[in-house]
Structures are given as structure tokens and as C-alpha cells.
Amino acid sequence: MPRLLLATNNAGKVAEFRTLLAGCGWETVTPADVGLELDVEETGQTYAANATLKAIAFANASGLIALADDSGLEVDAMDGRPGVRSARYAGPNLTHAARVQAMLEELRGVEDDDRTARFRCVIAIATKGGEVQLTEGTVEGRIAGDPRGDNGFGYDPIFLLPERGLTMAELPAGEKQRVSHRGEAARKALTILEQMLRDR
């Protein structure tokens, strides 16, 4: 079975991708699995640029086809911030919980109807030859008043899906993957990976 390198050191993302890509015909491996230590600085101004930077760097370093993503939270009341800066929002080296609290503070006093937001994810699949294919997924929601739920990571505890009345962190894993931005982008990536298998 050909190997697909998941170009991330984030354990939460690895777990999600392994579930989302299960049965795709590729053996998903992590940088640690192949003895690779690589930290790619996300200097791009867009999700696509950052995902591409990571996928190409990991593909070149490993000789494997690599899949990377970049994702973020876009809050309308914050003019689309933090966006591509989501992992660094409110300062470097903060915990997820600290970023969540900083965002709730910034949105204090903002009415529910004005707390609209979306998660966006772009996946890049790169070959060691530098060819890159991109997919994108989004999910619309609102920022809750308080964190709720223990599933997921990052901003999931405050990302409310109004039609369900639940935050992303309150959803069972299977349902989260069906509705999430990463799930949508991964389903599109599956089509690309299946085609790559046929073309081998």
C-alpha cells in the first residue's frame, strides 16, 4: 500500500485525518513514523499558501506524497480575524483555552446575531516533484458565549452550530466529521487521492 505523509505534528489533526481518510487505499503515516523532524514556518498570507508550503516541504524532505492543511476561524464581528492567524491569535505560545478566552473577551457585548463566523480549511496534496492540488471546505456558525463540550480542539468549544444548538466540541466525532470544514475538504481530497492511485 502506498504511503501518504500527514504533514503535521498536531496530534488532534492526525487523529481526524486518519479517520477521515480511512479506507482511501493509502497508508497514512506521520512525520514521527518516518523519522522526520520538520517545522515549517507558516509565512503565507492565505490558507492555500500555508498548506502548500507545508505539503511541499514535507514531500521534498520525505520523498512521499504529503497532505497538509491550513485552517482558521473567521469572525465577522472581528472583520474576518483571526483567519490565517488563528493559531497565533492573542499572542504566541498560548494554550487553546487561553485563545478561546481572549476571543470571548474581545466579543464581550456583541449580540448573538452579530457573532456569525466560519471555519475554513484548505488541504494541499503535494508530490516530491512539486505538483500541488488543493481542496477547500467551510462550515458556518456563531461564536457561543461560553465554551461547551470536550470533543475536538482549538476553537471547537465556542463554535456554535445554531441549527443543532451544539458547539463543534459537543458533537460526536462522526457527526463532527460530517459537518466540519476539515471533513468537507478531506472528502474532496479523497477524490484526488483515488485518482492518484489509478494513475500510479
Predicted TM-score of the model (pTM): 0.91
Residue 92: pLDDT band with limits 50, 70, 90: confident
**Higher-confidence residue: 192 or 39?**
192
Q: What is the pLDDT of residue 130?
A: 86
Fold category of 3-199 in CATH: Maf protein (3.90.950)
Q: What is the pLDDT of residue 140?
A: 97
Residue 33: pLDDT band with limits 50, 70, 90: very high
Is residue 119 pLDDT above 80, yes or no?
yes
Average pLDDT in the 63-75 region? 96
CA distance 168 to 185: 17
Q: What is the pLDDT of residue 199?
A: 87
Active site annotation includes 70: yes
First to last CA, the chain: 12
Which of 70, 76, 150, 156 is the catalytic position? 70
Residue 174: pLDDT band with limits 50, 70, 90: confident
Cα 131 off chain centre by: 21
Q: Where are the domains of the chain?
A: 3-199
Cβ atoms 157, 147 nearer than 8 A: yes
**Residue 23 neighbours by CB under 8 Å, 6+ apart:** none
Q: What is the pLDDT of residue 177?
A: 85
Residue 176: pLDDT band with limits 50, 70, 90: confident
CB atoms within 10 A of CB 177: 17
Q: List 36's β-bridge partners, or say none.
A: none
Cα 66 off chain centre by: 15
